[in-house]
Structure 1
Amino acid sequence: MQLFSPVFLASIYAAATTASASPAFAERDQSSSQVATTYNTPVSQYNFDDASYNYCQATYPSAQSYSSVPDATLEMVQVVVRHGDRTSYVVLPNENETWNCDGVEENTYLHVTGSSSRNTTGSFKQVIEIPKWNSKYGFSNQVWAGSCDIGELTDIGKAQHRKLGKQLREIYVNKINFLPPWLKDTSSVYFRTTYIWRTKNSGESLIGSLYPGRDIGSDDAIPMHTYPQSIETMIDNPTACPKLNTYSAQIYGSAPFQQFLKDQGPLMSRISGILGVSGPMWTASWSGYVDALLPRKCHSKPLPCRYVNGQKTTDCVTEEDVKQAMRNGSFEWTFKYRDHPLSGDYARLAIGSFLATLRDQIQDHVSGAASGPKFSLYSGHDTTVAALLGALKASNADMLWPPYASNLVFETWKKKDGSYVVRIVSNGHVLQLQDGQKWCDLSSCPLDSFNKYLATLIPTDIAAQCANN
């Protein structure tokens, strides 16, 4: 998850101020530990079937259930993933948990371009150090105890992507012989990640299992491509595209969303009171609540309790509170990325340039314009996956908040008649589309139809369209 930037928070502050004045956000009796919450939001797409949903772990594609597109040959695979399990971005006012990431250490070295030597600096190991005296001499309640930074990939997250890489190897190497068993030419694999360490480490873990046993020499190194933060296209980037702030303010300030906030206000007030948090992030959106609660639940840590005069009480967040907060977060993102009248405009500027990257990579391959890689990995965030799913008009079941290690696979196949089709697999199953929005059968979508739909989502002049005027 990418928590709201200060710029984005400012853009929705006016809507948040109006909503927070509603009686739904009034302080509740702190002695009560239960709230009766109902769904009255007048949005028809609000009913999600989340009985088998697991935020902590996405479902992987399986070699046992994998089958080829009939009468076709696989030409290219593009995989977009969310990073694995991570620590929270929210350090609570009364934080008393310990987070350890001792198994997530990265050795790095430098080498001179063109030099025959393997490296010129020796090896260095990244270590997060949180001194034990931090709360006494440092910055109290700015981080927890242990060896994890905020938002850092955990040992579990690393293992999740190692398993995903293994599953992909079983399919594309062992079962259908699409990829070679050993990577002799690193140019046959393309790896791009956002500038955040957890996406880098997740991608490294995945490719480390897809192609194990590689040497650490520079000749064996797979290039890890990143864009500068200022022009990143795999996440919503309002800094580069100010118009996104305008669209966000309109979406979050719309009557249906404000009604949703009002309906869920009692629960929001209850949880924020227990957490001891306040401000626009905690009144205008459920994203912060998902981030504060779900990482702790995934690690079986105690759910937060209210503190009064420095003393912990028995008024705590419940399992039902967490489930409801998760549903609210899923609705919020579905409304933002798929269902609001401005969602298409938002998608065009938030993820359209990345969709163009995927499209152009396919086109270069099928046209023979470039001998591109057979396998590409794009390691991103929940916002990356959610924005793609919303833009594609995914079904409600697929629009649930992307779990850790979510995987979206774009396969390009060549039919016997020379035509091309695209198959999209989401967390192990063919992506299903929202009722009334079935623009193509994604088990075998003709490339022309695929490109025609993507053309509606790709900006024609990103600089001009992003200008906030």
Structure 2
Amino acid sequence: MLGLVLLASMAALARADYPAYCAKDMNANRVQPLKATNVQLIQVQVVVRHGARTPWSGSQCWDGYNEEWNCNIHEIQRPELKSDKEPLIVSREFEKIYTKGDNILAGTCNLGQMIDEGYHQQTQNGAHLREAYVGPRGLFQSTDGLDLTNTSDFYFESSDIPRTINSGMIIIDQIFPRGVNDSSKAAVPWHTSDYSRAIVTPNPNVCPKLSWIDAAWRKSDEYLAWTNSPANQQLERDLQKVVSHYSHDTLFDCFMTAKCTDRSLPSGIDDDLFARTTSRESSFQIQQYLYNQSSYARVGMAAYINRIRQRAISATKQQAPRFVLSAAHDTTIMPVLGALGGASWLTEWVPYASHMIFEVYANQTDHYVRILYQGKPLSVPGCSSELCPFSAFLALTEFAADSSICALPTSSNSDPVAAPTTSGTSASETTWTWLYVIGGVLAGTALGYFAGSRGTAERQGYSTLPDRA
């Protein structure tokens, strides 16, 4: 027993050397069980980020960057013509291989491709979700006899990008292991769309108001004060001494993909400079989402949140899939957190393989909702416990039902309309957020940097459920 304790302690110390972003401890994502016994779980909607990956940009991270990335996740493809006019011709399976030496990155990986660690992260996610939702008190008593091709009962979707598609499929295979005769069944539907028209992230192509809000944010006093702060100016000077030809658009990703996989950083990047740099980039992204009471996040994710809302409403009428999986991105989960919970929920750049879960429960008289991030319940306005009246969920997501939310204002002099404070974010909390993100740089501490200091205490949540729920 002592040996096991020592091994566990050593593993914890090893994980503490990595930013929380790397998701080295997937047990932190396990779903907290609901202690109520007088309600029945009737629907689960999971939004999950893809697993660990290679850098996403083709731009060189910095002068001299030439890291080799090799990936062992291969895709098997079988193109078939499905038509009422022609008989189905079964194709042989083909393996898609990125040829070494022919890619932007050295090695066998494509840009942004999920690496082996990402595969293992998602298998653990799948195991945790199976533990939470398959069993005597789960959404499913067992997985025997389930028909995953029935889109009235199951709905799987992702952006049309390999790392999200792979992540989602890996999770589904873990939750619902293949039976002996599954090979003879029809293919499981997987839904996606053109990325240029996708609503899985804030998309100015489909929501023109986003560009207007972004421009207003970049001209705001808060943003200009933060950008020109002495701490940020000093950080820029310190970076330029040791890193050449970098871009702020890719700096966070370049640093994190290197740090999470034990690759080299530029000479001169010590822990302090790494922390200040990643904190600055985290702060930039979070500020955009939280600006003016989360206007950008609420407008940009309204269509996506409305789909979650409508599925939940349909579930109360027994007219929706019981289980929905949406495999997406950090730029999905972060604005959803910001849109629904403001600074109380969005406190970090979300890690690889992180997830949000929306659960719907019922008893003989009413319906309830529980919302979780990384398996822990989030505090919803109007709720005194982790299990919230369905009316509180409807109030929280009401903004998303506004079909005109993306319309440009009629006056060019208009300011972005502040969202109602239904998320519980007061003006004082908004001010605190700006002080926090600026102060984080001043203090030289990265937002959510080390796994041992994720700041989870700052995120409002619950650990117990009153009996009356």
TM class by shorter chain equals 0.7 to 0.9
Q: Quick one: distance in 1 between partners of 2:17 and 2:225?
A: 26
Q: Which residue in 1 is equivalent to 2:321?
A: 373
1:259 Cα shift?
Answer: 1.9
SS, match of residue 421 in structure 1? strand
Q: Kindly report which structure 2 residues correspond to 1:72-111, keeping only aligned pairs within 5 A, or say none.
A: 72-90=39-57, 91-92=60-61, 93-101=63-71, 103-111=72-80
For residues 446 and 357 of structure 1, what CA distance do their matches in structure 2 show?
Answer: 19
1:360 aligned partner: 310
Match of 1:461 among 389, 395, 404: 404
Q: Paired residue for 1:194, among 144, 149, 159?
A: 159
Residues 1:162 and 2:123 are matched in the alignment = yes
Query: CA 1:119–1:69 in structure 2 vs 1: closer, same or farther (change >3 Å)?
Result: farther
Aligned pair in 2 of structure 1 residues 170, 347: CA closer, same or farther (>3 Å)?
Answer: same
Matched, 1:444 2:387: yes
Query: Which residue among 265, 273, 294 is the counterpart of 1:303?
Result: 265
Taking structure 1 as reference, are residues 466 and 407 closer, same or farther at Cα in structure 2, changes over 3 Å only? farther
Residue of structure 2 aligned with 1:246, choices 208, 212, 228? 212
Percent same amino acid among aligned pairs?
A: 26
Tell me the secondary structure at the aligned position of residue 174 of structure 1.
coil
Any idea what SS the aligned residue of 1:304 has? coil
CA distance in 2, matches of 1:54, 1:388: 20
Structure 1 residues 383 and 460, CA, compared in 2 at 3 Å: closer, same or farther?
Answer: same
Corresponding residue to 1:424 among 366, 371, 379: 371
The residue type paired with residue 341 of structure 1 is N
Inter-partner Cα distance in structure 2 for 1:203 and 1:467: 41
Q: How has the CA–CA distance of structure 1 residues 223 and 333 changed in structure 2, closer, same or farther, with 3 Å as cutoff? A: same
CA contact (8 A) 1:81 1:407 kept: yes
For residues 118 and 273 of structure 1, what CA distance do their matches in structure 2 show?
Answer: 62
- 1:94 & 1:467 partners in 2: Cα distance? 49
The alpha-carbon deviation at position 257 of structure 1 amounts to 1.8
Matched, 1:265 2:213: no
2:375 matched to 1:406?
no
Structure 1 counterpart of 2:467: none
- 1:245-303 Cα deviation digits (max 9, x unpaired): 1211221332222222223122134335533225xx53xxxx52211100110001111
Q: 1:223 aligns with which of 170, 184, 189?
A: 189
Counterpart residue type for residue 414 of structure 1: A
Q: Is the 8 A contact 1:118 1:218 kept in 2?
A: no
Inter-partner Cα distance in structure 2 for 1:119 and 1:161 = 33
With over 3 angstroms needed to count, the CA separation of the structure-2 counterparts of 1:325 and 1:166, relative to structure 1, is: same
What TM-score, normalized by structure 1, do the two folds share? 0.75
* CA distance 1:442–1:153, change in 2 (3 Å): farther
Aligned residue pairs total: 384
Distance in 1 between the 2:145 and 2:330 partners?
29
In structure 2, the CA distance between the partners of 1:114 and 1:227, relative to structure 1 (3 Å rule), is: closer
Offset at residue 335 of structure 1 (A): 1.9
Distance 1:275 1:240, change over 3 A: farther
- In 1, distance between residues paired with 2:390 and 2:115? 39
Question: Quick one: distance in 2 between partners of 1:328 and 1:428?
Answer: 27
**Pair 1:467–1:190, CA change in 2 (3 A):** farther
Task: Determine the structure 2 residue equivalent to 1:174.
Answer: 135
Q: Is the 8 A contact 1:304 1:317 kept in 2?
A: yes
Whether the aligned pair in 2 keeps the contact of 1:60 and 1:164 (CA below 8 Å) is no
* Pair 273,68 (structure 1): closer, same or farther in 2 beyond 3 Å: same
1:68–1:255 Cα change, 3 Å: same
2:22 aligns with 56
Give 1:320 deviation, angstroms. Answer: 2.0
User: Which of 272, 287, 290 is equivalent to 1:335?
Assistant: 287
**Aligned residues of 1:241 and 1:466 also touching (Cα < 8 A):** no
Please give the per-residue CA displacement for 1:193-232, whole angstroms capped at 9, x wherever unaligned: 0111111111011111111225674734221101222321
**Distance in 2 between residues matched to 1:385 and 1:145, nearest whole Å:** 30
User: Match for residue 3 of structure 1?
Assistant: none
Query: 1: CA distance between counterparts of 2:409 and 2:401?
Result: 13
Distance 1:321 1:216, change over 3 A: farther
Q: CA deviation at 1:349?
A: 2.6
Q: Extract unaligned runs of 5+ from structure 2.
A: 1-15, 413-469
Q: What is the CA–CA distance in structure 2 between the aligned matches of 1:337 and 1:262, rounded to whole Å?
A: 20
Q: Which residue of 2 aligns with 1:153?
A: 114
Alignment check: 8 A CA contact 1:251 1:342 kept: no
CA separation in 1, counterparts of 2:122 and 2:216? 37
Match of 2:300 in 1: 350
Residue of structure 2 equivalent to 1:382: 330
Q: Is the 8 A contact 1:422 1:442 kept in 2?
A: no
Q: Is residue 82–residue 381 contact of structure 1 (8 Å, CA) maintained in 2?
A: yes
SS of 2:48's equivalent in the other structure is strand
Change (3 A) 1:96 1:235: same
Kept after mapping to 2: 8 A contact 1:87/1:151: yes
TM-score (norm 2): 0.75
Shift of 1:74: 0.5
Kept after mapping to 1: 8 A contact 2:51/2:121: yes
Q: Deviations over 1:387-421 (max 9, x none)?
A: 010011255575211000011010001134x2111
Question: Deviation of residue 121 (structure 1)?
Answer: 2.2
Cα drift, residue 364 of structure 1: 1.3
Q: Relative to structure 1, is the Cα distance of residues 262 and 325 closer, same or farther in structure 2, using a 3 angstrom cutoff?
A: same
Equivalent position SS for 2:326: strand
Q: Which residue number in structure 2 is paired with residue 204 of structure 1?
A: 169
8 Å CA contact retained: 1:246, 1:468: no
SS at match of 1:265: helix
Report the Cα distance in structure 2 between the residues aligned to 1:350 and 1:218, rounded to whole angstroms. Answer: 41
Q: Which amino acid aligns with 2:394?
A: N
Aligned counterparts of 2:240 and 2:97: Cα–Cα separation in 1: 33
